A and B are shown apart, each in its own frame.
Chain A
Amino acid sequence: MKKTIKYVVYDIIRNRFVMGYTLLLLVLSISFYLFESDSNKGILSLLNINIMVIPLVSVIFSTIHFYNSYEFIELMAAQPISRRTIFFSQFLGLSISLSLAFLVGIGLPTLIFDGSAKGLTLIGSGLLITLVFVSVAFLASVITRDKAKGIGIALGLWFYLCILYDGLVLSVLVNMSDYPMETASLVLSALNPADLARILVLMQLDVSALMGITGAIFHDFFSAKWGIALSFIMLILWVLIPLFFSYRIFNKKDL
């Protein structure tokens, strides 16, 4: 497996896209931290990058890369290598490359400018978000053999999880505002990786005071140690569940 991962990573790194992505993140985070005197504001700005740009780049790049690796996958499939090795070396190769880009681009500056629990939460949740969307991308890629369709599904999933979902939750909450919806909103948020990542960081930043009663409930939940642990576990499940299903599909797929 190690050797196959080596070739996947080698292939991705030679692709200049990941290099450009790292540089972009690096420039963004350094300028956010330098322009704001308060590192909290820098973290807030980076949070938006974390839950919009990083999911988008991770999901699209991974999907495109998966389709472009079809030749490699086909070549490997005729060798004495298991499908599991082929699949997970692709997943790990992509995860390693994109995580490295994230760690250098956002992790490093955050540690330098704000090494506190807030910064660490931002880094941890951002890393998991990267993995979640690589995993979602794999699901989109194994569902269909058509590259355009695959990218469409990946984009659709990103749009749903990162943009549409919040609107849907909000409209449910507004329409049902006569009822006590605090627990429901908590559960709904926990079902979306982007929301989880956002809330985890916001709760560390004491801006939850602006969020009204719901904010208070969220604060109670997400600031408690077990609440934080549970959110991280939810994020990890968001990596593992799509990955599990895409592996099952890939294993039975005709190449």
Chain B
Amino acid sequence: MIVFENIGKSFGKLEVLRDINLRFELGQCIAILGPNGSGKTTLIKSLLGMVIPDKGEIRFKDISIKNAFDYRNQIGYMPQIGHYPPNLRISQLIDMMVDIRNSKDYELDEEIIDAFKLRDIYQKPLGTLSGGTKQKVSAALAFLFNPKVLILDEPTAGLDPVSSEILKAKIQKEKSKGKLILITSHIMSDLEELATHVVYLQDGQLKVFKELEALQDEFGENRLSRIIAQIMQMSKKMLCF
């Protein structure tokens, strides 16, 4: 479904992604892990065409995404920090997004809007919302068009525990429908419940791409957080030599 081939990207002198090769298929739920600044968000943004890689090719259903945009109607994206036009109201934002796409082609999925009770605050301008509420709006938009691929960049960061559970249940539900889900997060316990595969990035390099179960067997450890801690230590030692 999605293929990254030899992807490289630098911001000035800083190499953010180095020779990344990945292949994701429908039905998988990929946890993208790595320390801060390891290139997770850049990887995601290059898949969306927001960051343009210097090297390599990304293919969506065997078609290169370079200069393409149609493929994005199959992607729902929830950014790490949602930036929205501050004087637009929530209802206007959602109407606008529906209006800009040819909404007849989509079955709108408003479950999240209802679950987060966004309609109660529909008239609030986006500029006045708290970080957590903005996250809820971002989540609502990501699921709205019922996309085949969901890209969630730290979805539960900033959400209260109840909302976080609602969102996780929704992700679980979409996963069971056979969608492809990419998640980055620092909350390992969340990922443990959801992920089928683990991608571990460090300094822009792909260190690990394996099934979660295979990793659990390999390390003789069930907890994802412990596995990751071990991987981090291993790569640190490698750096020392």
Contact = CB atoms under 8 A, between A and B. Distances in A.
B200 to A, nearest CB: 24
A159 interface: no
A35 interface: no
Given A80-B69, A80-B71, A75 B51 contact: no
A225 interface: no
Residue from A4, A80, A252 whose CB has the most chain B CB atoms within 10 Å: A80
A72 B50 contact: no
Nearest to B76: A78
B119 interface: no
B85 interface: yes
Given A7-B96, A14-B87, A79-B97, A74 B50 contact: yes
Contact of B77 (A70, A71, A78, A254): A78
Contact of A254 (B52, B70, B84): B52
Residue from A14, A76, A79 whose CB has the most chain B CB atoms within 10 Å: A79
Contacts, number: 58
Interface string A57-91: 00000000000011110111111111100000000
Nearest to A255: B50
A173 to B, nearest CB: 44
A88 to B, nearest CB: 14
A196 B11 CA distance: 41
B52 A78 contact: no
B48 A78 contact: yes
A79 B100 contact: yes
B55 interface: no
A7 B87 CA distance: 12
B64 interface: no
Contact of B85 (A11, A77, A78): A11
A203 to B, nearest CB: 45
Given A80-B70, A80-B72, A81-B69, A72 B85 contact: yes
Residue from A7, A75, A253 whose CB has the most chain B CB atoms within 10 Å: A75
Interface in B45-94: 45, 48-52, 69-73, 75, 77, 79, 83-87
B51 A3 contact: no
B226 interface: no
Nearest to A75: B84
B99 interface: yes
B84 A80 contact: no
Contacts of A4: 100
Q: How large is the interface on A (under 10, 10 to 19, 20 to 34, 35 or more residues)?
A: 20 to 34
B58 to A, nearest CB: 14
B161 to A, nearest CB: 28
A254 B53 CA distance: 9
A254 to B, nearest CB: 4
A224 to B, nearest CB: 45
Contacts of A3: 99-100
Nearest to B78: A78
Contacts of A74: 50, 79, 83
B71 A254 contact: no
Given A70-B83, A72-B85, A77 B48 contact: yes
A255 B48 CA distance: 10
Given A72-B85, A79-B97, A252 B52 contact: yes
Interface string B16-56: 00000000000000000000000000000100111110000
B210 interface: no
Nearest to A70: B83
B101 A78 contact: no
Interface string A235-255: 000000000000000001111
Given A3-B99, A71-B85, A80 B73 contact: yes
Contacts of B11: 254
Residue from B48, B50, B75, B79 whose CB has the most chain A CB atoms within 10 Å: B50
Given A71-B86, A83-B69, 9 more contacts: A11-B87, A72-B85, A74-B83, A76-B100, A77-B50, A78-B72, A78-B75, A82-B69, A255-B50
Interface of B: 11, 45, 48-52, 69-73, 75, 77, 79, 83-87, 96-97, 99-101
10 contacts: A3-B99, A11-B85, A14-B87, A71-B83, A71-B86, A78-B48, A78-B79, A80-B72, A81-B69, A252-B52
Return the 3 tightest CB-CB contacts between A and B, nearest first.
A80-B73, A71-B83, A80-B72
